[in-house]
Structure 1
Amino acid sequence: MSRNFDLVIFDCDGVLMDSEIVSARVVAADMTAHGLPTTPDVALARFVGTSLRNMKPIIEAERGAPLPDDWNDRMVTKIAEAMAADVSPIPGARAVLARLNALGIAWRIASNSADEEMDAKFGKTGFLDLTAGRTHSAPRLFAQGGQPKPAPDVFLDAARAEAVRPDRCVVIEDSPPGVTGAVAAGMICYGFAPHGDGAHLLAAGAHRIIDRLDLVPGLVMAQSVDA
């Protein structure tokens, strides 16, 4: 059977792991401690899909003072600890990864999260047997000059690992920064919106919206991208 794509690239938070609210709790508590009272819901709405690197200057500008030099590293540790204690998979996540394996379809994970955070999430949920060796972290690329989403760097890193051209990759993303990065990488992006119409993802450049992960294998194997 012909394929539309040779590689599926998943975002992590909000696509495979129900982890965004967990991170938002940590961010909200930290902002509050630094003089900016914030609730988790507000932090989630403001920073979904935003890397810590890009978040830091926003918070500093709002508080009118710099954050500690080690803020990023400390936040990574706090978020990883929170994930190790309280995170769950998105419904259907493990099944879709197993199904792609059974079909012989290559897949990777491209995230703004640090490796420490992803290890905590996948360890807590029992996904490490599936995800080991398939994760790509934007912070891992910083030393080489890479940038987090909405830059395309982490998606291109995933494609290089499988020796797949960007135009043969499909990305599953749930945030505008992620969609923007995927499109900038020259990849087709399907917006994942299990709750809502995904209009904000279409506005960012998503090719279409899906609301269930079990749709992904069929979209890869279908005869038409628009099927």
Structure 2
Amino acid sequence: MDIRFFILAFTHAILSLSDGFLIMHDRKQQCLLANSVKVLVGTCNMTNRWQQWEWTEQGKLRLLQQGQCLTLVNPTSLHFHTLTLQDCAGALRWKCYDDQPGLLGLAHQKMYLKKMGYLAIVKAETKYYDSWLRYQLGENRKPVTLSICPTQEDYQANALKEDPPSIQRKKARWQDNVAIISYVSIKVFKMNKNLSSNNEQDVKSPAMWTEYTQQLVYGRK
């Protein structure tokens, strides 16, 4: 196969990356890698959306692949905790600590993100700290390392992605209205065209047209 195909495919993968970043261990140069069960540490790969994170407005770390946030498997344990993903509403908040550059931990208590073999954990370590970096594409589309700490730009960018409840309700009402209009329009059209009863089964309820409208507007299947 033409080598240009692979070059174009790779270039497209890089350019199609969102504004997410990788969380990279400073000394080991490895990154957090999530799956549906746990969070690991492995080879950094900017084209892997299971490694791409973003800070939320609430100080949580959200995985772009699933839209879920980084949290603890067992937050009541007194020892180290492994990490997992869950809905952001119930996930824990994170922050940077001033003890050393790149020290990342839980916001509500001094437990810090660490690498333990291939696992990412948090632990109340007081002697040896792990430093973490933000690994992402820079303005020239080349990889750069930055402070892992959230910036004001992070908060502002992600605040725009999350509609307040009032806007969500307006969108829901708009979808319902469009669905009903579509339903009535098709009914009138079929009555005027005197279509056969075999095709009449295509029009069933506003709920069906709500789904159809969502497919048109949001590309849902």
TM-score, normalising length: structure 1: 0.25
Structure whose residues are more often helix by fraction: 1
Mark the structure with the bigger radius of gyration: 2
TM-score, normalising length: structure 2: 0.26
- Per chain length, whose mean CA-contact separation is higher, i.e. which structure has more relative contact order (CA < 8 Å, sep 6+)? 1
